[in-house]
Structure 1
């Protein structure tokens, strides 16, 4: 009867050793995949945390300026939604240099060197954006800036006391936002659209209740 050929111990060890590189490669790939997945999860969580932080900062800014905007609305007749919307847009949520260092939330300009600061700004002129130096009011408190903004809309400019009467006379934020553009508050051709979007996105209309 024919006998089966026995595999030598040395031959079996050789086969085992030949398979080891495959196991090592599989293990390395598995580790890399787990690491990649963990990194992706970390990045995703980091992005979500950053988004939540930005959202919270924006909510805090609205909470900060809303009470003063409502108070000024009752005193001067300026819709709080317009005041808050402009504060957000003009100051970049309070993060611009003019806002963070000089408490000017509305880009209000001045002429007195004792209470103004010269900063670079962009204005839309002759169909294009241009960078210029502007002299802006400096305030010790953001509430002073908000009050000056309300008084500017009510009293107009030094060359036109009725300049913003359409804004003051508006019955809703859309009408007021359009009036800001037509009355020349800003040179940005998209100013009205930006204000309206901010008011709608953050439900700022609710602050107008009881003002008009």
Structure 2
């Protein structure tokens, strides 16, 4: 309503100025100059509009699409991966909360190059006969972090990364198929996080505390299926 009132007021003002100018030119005997000026003014407006200049001047700038806040992006990430983690828990007994928390920690909420480009959400290293890519990474060695180059596994999609991660706990490693037996036996996230450290999944001494903190902050245990 207010916009229509402003438009009506502008039109009325323009008509009043036009009448006054017309009287002035008519009084001076130069009415044809007045008509010529109107034609030229209209031509300029048309040219500016066709070339796009007029649109930039007359059209208000469009607002950019709103970006997701950090909190929104994190909720979106959890909602995206949680159902698949739950389905994997039913098949493998790996708690969904553990998988989601590890994916958050290892991939920085799916924003790392390894996860965005190569769909590896858990920092899994590539075997000699597996598809992989060499990237620099931070590893905890001799009580401190070091930047090293390592060959990481690549996957066709993030679901394949989650599946391979769960199967690692189920199948263990070549030299010890039962390496992650404590992780599979855990019935709650607290015991599961301790088992990750106990079974040698990570070298970071604070890994258990980080996983528990993520699960509790975002209430990821609500995605765990009853055993």
- Structure 1-normalised TM-score? 0.73
Q: What is the CA–CA distance in structure 1 between the aligned matches of 2:194 and 2:144, rounded to whole Å?
A: 21
* Greater than 6 Å deviation, 4+ residue runs: none
For 1:147-176, what per-residue CA distance to the aligned partner results, in whole angstroms no more than 9, with x for missing partners? 000000111112221111100001110101
Q: Which residue is equivalent to 2:145?
A: 129
Within 5 A, what are the aligned runs for 1:187-202? Answer: 187-202=203-218
Q: Mark the runs of 5 or more structure 2 residues left unpaired by the alignment.
A: 1-65
In structure 2, relative to structure 1, the CA distance for the partners of 1:114 and 1:209 (3 Å cut) is closer
Q: Is 1:62 aligned to residue 78 of structure 2? A: yes
Deviation at 1:55, TM superposition (A): 0.3
**Structure with bigger RCO (C-alpha 8 Å, 6+ apart):** 1
**Structure 2 equivalent of residue 87 of structure 1:** 103
Calculate the aligned-residue CA RMSD, in Å. 1.5
Structure of larger gyration radius: 2
Instruction: Tell me how far apart the structure 2 counterparts of residues 147 and 124 of structure 1 sit (CA, whole Å).
Output: 26
CA offsets, 1:106-130, max 9 Å, x none?
1111123651111111111111111
Distance in structure 2 (CA, Å) of the matches to 1:113 and 1:171? 35
**Distance (Å, rounded) in 2 between the aligned partners of 1:209 and 1:152:** 20
1:156 aligned residue (158, 172, 182):
172
Which moved further from structure 2: 194-203 or 126-135? 126-135
- After TM superposition, the score normalised by the length of structure 2 is 0.69
- 1:184 counterpart SS class: coil
Aligned to 1:100: 116
Once residues 208 and 130 of structure 2 are traced to their aligned partners in structure 1, the CA distance between those partners, rounded to angstroms, is 33
Identify which range, 99-108 or 119-128, moves more after superposition.
119-128
